[in-house]
Amino acid sequence: MNRIVFATGNEGKMKEIRMILDLPDYEIVSMKDAGVHVEIEENGSTFEENALIKAKAVWKETGGIVLADDSGLEVDYMDKKPGVFSARFLGEDTSYDIKNQYIIDQLADAAEEQRTARFVCVIACVMPDGSTYTTRGTIEGVIAHEISGQNGFGYDPIFYVPEYGCTTAELSPEQKNEISHRGKALRDMKKKLMM
């Protein structure tokens, strides 16, 4: 069976990735499953640069097909922060409860139309021959007034999707994968892998 190594140790993310990619001919494994333990410094200034940095670092260890993602939340009222620093925002070990409340507090004086935000996800792929490409997906929404929902992870409990009338943490995993930034970017990547 062919193997795809996904450059993450996040089990929540791996579950989503396996559900969305759904490639019967491939075993999709995490870095941990592949026995890769490299320190990767994400020092790119764009989601594309960071995703490629991760994919190339793992590919050097494993060869084969490696995928990586870089994703984050852009809040317009905060000059598109946290952006590429979403995972490390307010410090790497800061809980998302604190990060989410901080963002809500930052928008305390924002008018409703100023609460716009988006999730961005870029998937990078390194093929066995070392060639690379990326796909990008986004989902538009607004920052909620309070933390809400138990599904998902990260900033999902404060990302409100008006068409669904709830946060992405209140959607079922199937609904979320259908509309999410990661779902869109992964489905585009799946098309490329099946070419």
Q: How far is CA 161 from CA 57, 83, 116, 166, 171, in A?
A: 35, 18, 10, 6, 10
Per-residue pLDDT for 1 more than 90? no
Per-residue model confidence as pLDDT tens digits over 94-135: 999 999 999 999 999 999 999 999 999 999 999 999 999 999
Tokens of 157: 């409990």
Q: Which of 25, 70, 76, 129 is catalytic?
A: 70
Residue pointed to by tokens 């989902």: 139
Cβ atoms within 10 Å, residue 185: 25
Look up 70 and say whether it is catalytic.
yes
Phi-psi region of 171 (alpha: psi -120 to 50; beta: other; left: phi over 0): beta
CA–CA gap between residue 109 and residue 134 (Å, rounded): 37
Tokens of 156: 């999902």
pTM attached to this predicted model = 0.91
Nearest to 127 by CA among 69, 64, 190, 187: 64
CA–CA gap between residue 120 and residue 104 (Å, rounded): 19
Angle between helical axes of 181-193 and 11-21 (0-180°, round to 10): 50
Per-residue pLDDT for 92 more than 90? no
CA–CA gap between residue 137 and residue 180 (Å, rounded): 8
The three state secondary structure string of 165-182 is: CEEHHHCCHHHHHHHCHH
Q: How far is CA 68 from CA 90, 106, 117, 161, 167, in A?
A: 23, 31, 23, 26, 25
Q: How large a percentage of the chain has pLDDT more than 90?
A: 83
Task: Tell me the pLDDT band of 52, cut-offs 50, 70 and 90.
Answer: very high
